[in-house]
Every structure is written in C-alpha cells, then in structure tokens.
Amino acid sequence: MPDRVFVFDTTLRDGEQSPGVRLSMSQKLEIGEALAQLGVDIIEAGFPISSPGDFEAVNTLAKALKDVQVCGLTRAREKDIDVAGEALKPASNPRIHTGLGVSDNHLQFKLKMSREEALETGVKAVKHAKRYTDNIEYFMEDSGRADRSYVYKVVEEVIKAGATTINVPDTTGYTLPMEYRDLMAGIRENVPNIDKAVLSCHCHNDLGMATANTLAGVIGGARQVEVTVNGIGERAGNTALEEVAMAFVIREDLFNVQTRIQCKNLLAISRLVSHYTGMMVQRNKAVVGANAYAHSSGIHQDGVLKERSTYEIIDPAMVGAEKSEIILTARSGRHGLKHRLAEMGFNFNEDRFEEIYSKFIEVADKKTEVLDDDLKELVTTR
Ligand code: KIV
Ligand code: ZN
C-alpha cells in the first residue's frame, strides 16, 4: 500500500511573494478553488498580520473552501497568531503555520537571539496557537544551514508543545539533494517523539535544486511537500507543484507514494496562475512548458512518430496537454515533414515528395520554424 504524501500549496503566500506579483482577492479565490479541485490538501492563503489583503484572503478562502485545509502564516508572536486565529475562524480545518529561524546566521543577524531564547519563543508560540487549533505546523527557517543537533532539539520540543507538522525549510536554497535527504532522515532517527508529527519539505530554488531536494526529502522520510504552481516564489522560487506531482507518478517504482493531485488539471492551473501573476512560464519548463512535448530534431521526430515513448516519458494527455507536437525546422527529417503534410491532407509520390523536401530545407534554413502556411505555399508552387 503506497504511503500518503500531503501536498501543501503556498502559491498564494510564498508564490505571491515573487517580486512584481500582486493578486486581487477575486483572483486569489479563483486560484484557491482551482487548487482545491486539483486535489491539494492544504492551501496557505496568506500571512494575515502582514496586510488587510492577506487577512481577507485567508478569511475568504477559509469561508469558501470546505474540503481542503486552509492555513495562515505567522511569526512566533502572540499577536500574529491571534490575527491568524481570527482570519481562520470560518475554516473547517484551520492550520496555523508558525515558527522562526534555527540557523546561527538567522539567530545572530536577524533574530538577535540565543539558541535557547529562540527555542523558548517557538515553544511558547506553539502553545499559544493551540488556543485556535490542534492543526499546528512549525517552521524552522533556514534549516538547510543550521546545526543538526539544535534542529533535533527544536523538533522534539515543539512536538511536545503540540506541533503536528514540522516544516524543514531550505529557505536559502543552499542544500544539495543528499544533504536534504540526510537532514530528514537524521530528524527521523534522532528525535524520539517524531512519530507524532509529519515532516514537511519546503525548498527554494537558488541553486536550481528545489524539486530535487523535495524529492530527496521524501526519500528521507518527509510526508508533506510544500510547493507552488509553476515554482513561483521568493527570488528563484519554490518547488514546482507540477514537477513533484509528476515525479511521483512517473517514478512510482521508486517513491511508492500517493497524493490526491488530479494531474490532468496541471496545465490548466499553470496557465491560470501564469495569467494572473503575469509570470511567464519558460518554454522549456518541465511538465507545463510550451516545448515540454514538442520535438524538433529529425532523429527525435522519427522516433516519436514510430513510438511516442522513445522520447517522451510523460504522455501529454496526463497533464491536460493536447498531444505531442512535431515542430518543423531545418533539423527535421523526411518522416516529420511527411507526417505533417499527411495531417494537412497532402500525400505525394516519392519523386514529388523529394522535390518538396528540398524546397522545405531551403525555407527551413532561413526560418526558425516552418509553419503550415509556409508548407501550403511550398506544395502549391512548382
Ligand atoms: O522559506 C521559508 O523558510 C519560508 C517559511 C516562512 C516557511 O517560507
Ligand atoms: Zn519559503
């Protein structure tokens, strides 16, 4: 029986922190509804004390979405937690996400606290959050650069205080996959009460490792993944929801885990979030990029036309994409051209096809892509 992995979406909180992004309330609600339909388990809708807009987002989604947990972020401060508790009042299963830094860097330069003071502050915050809900997630900011023995101590104490999910953020995107896996595995091995909480991966993409680290964290024993649609988020972004969801499906042999994600909705939600945030999805983006199922070279086209799986590990229909595309360029071969012409209703004998193919190569050498209109002209002139 596969293990369940919970999907915690933070598109509306960490994702909205992307420089230049500001979503309206109605856009947040529409994205929240789409996320619920997609099958995420928890939606982090905002940081309620940070602005009236964030308060309203958490409050509105808490009212509107009943089959998903709605979560509000707080610092480890009573006032933050009270405001989040208020925003989450209408939620059917509210989650408070509180915490503070654990790395010596954050303790010294940002928090100006000793390890002991920070631990005490965190424990107090969890106890305070319990006034509002038993569903408490504790984040240890900058875990990726923290001293492991201190991390183990914090995890043990905040679980004793009532935290039920422990978030281990690689806030600065510093770790490599094997380090992040070992961090999770180390927590599981060294924290005596770890069976009372779910471990969560929260990775940033500063070195392009966010997805790899999250997957490694799951191998290390985490059972929650924190993600955003299209990987948007602070600086280089967060782990991309669509990449993790598809990795679990395509490499089921390795992970043997299950989520509730309806993968066929992935492309639609990617487009929705891109449209509302104004953040373009790069063409070569994994899973949802415009080129993800497009084949340009003759060798690849020949393979895919004979059997799709030669060059595609994902059937585009799985993510809601129409079909693989054959892009005609100077690198395309006869098989690709013949296929496209047949799709357009043109079938020629071998001699005529060779003539057309020579003309096609001449045109293709001048253009990045040969389009249907070019082909029509090519076949109708002699
Ligand atoms: O990256 C981070 O550490 C965060 C926390 C606030 C969870 O976003
Ligand atoms: Zn983050």
- Distance between CA 338 and CA 344 in Å, rounded? 10
CATH number at residue 364: 1.10.238
Question: Pick from 371, 304, 358, 312: which is nearest to 336 by CA?
Answer: 304
Residue 186 pLDDT > 90: yes
Smallest CA separation from ligand 1 atom 8, residue: 14
Q: Which of 277, 310, 327 is the last residue of a domain?
A: 277
Same domain, 194 and 311: no
pLDDT digits (tens, 9 = 90+) for 128-149: 999 999 999 999 999 999 999 9
Which residue minimizes the CA distance to atom 5 of ligand 1?
A: 141
The predicted-structure confidence for 279-333, as pLDDT tens digits, reads as follows: 999 999 999 999 999 999 999 999 999 999 999 999 999 999 988 899 999 999 9
CA distance 219 to 8: 17
pTM for the model: 0.96
Looking at the structure of the chain, the number of domains it has is 2
- pLDDT, tens digit, 9 for 90 and up, residues 205-239: 999 999 999 999 999 999 999 999 999 999 999 99
Index of the ligand 1 atom closest to the CA of residue 142: 3
Question: Would you state the pLDDT for residue 255?
Answer: 98
Looking at the structure, tell me whether residues 273 and 299 fall in a common domain. no
Across the chain, what does the average pLDDT equal?
97
Of 378, 318, 372, 329, which is closest to residue 353 (Cα–Cα)?
378
Q: Which residues pair with 138 in a beta bridge?
A: 98, 166
* 64 domain residue, yes or no: yes
Position 57: which residue type? A
Domain that holds residue 44: 3-277
Pocket (CB within 6 angstroms of ligand 1): 14, 139, 141, 167, 169, 171, 202, 204
Residue 251 shares a structural domain with residue 325: no
Strands of the chain (E only): list them. 3-4, 6-9, 42-46, 69-73, 94-101, 136-141, 165-170, 198-203, 224-227, 257-258, 294-295, 325-326
- pLDDT at residue number 160: 98
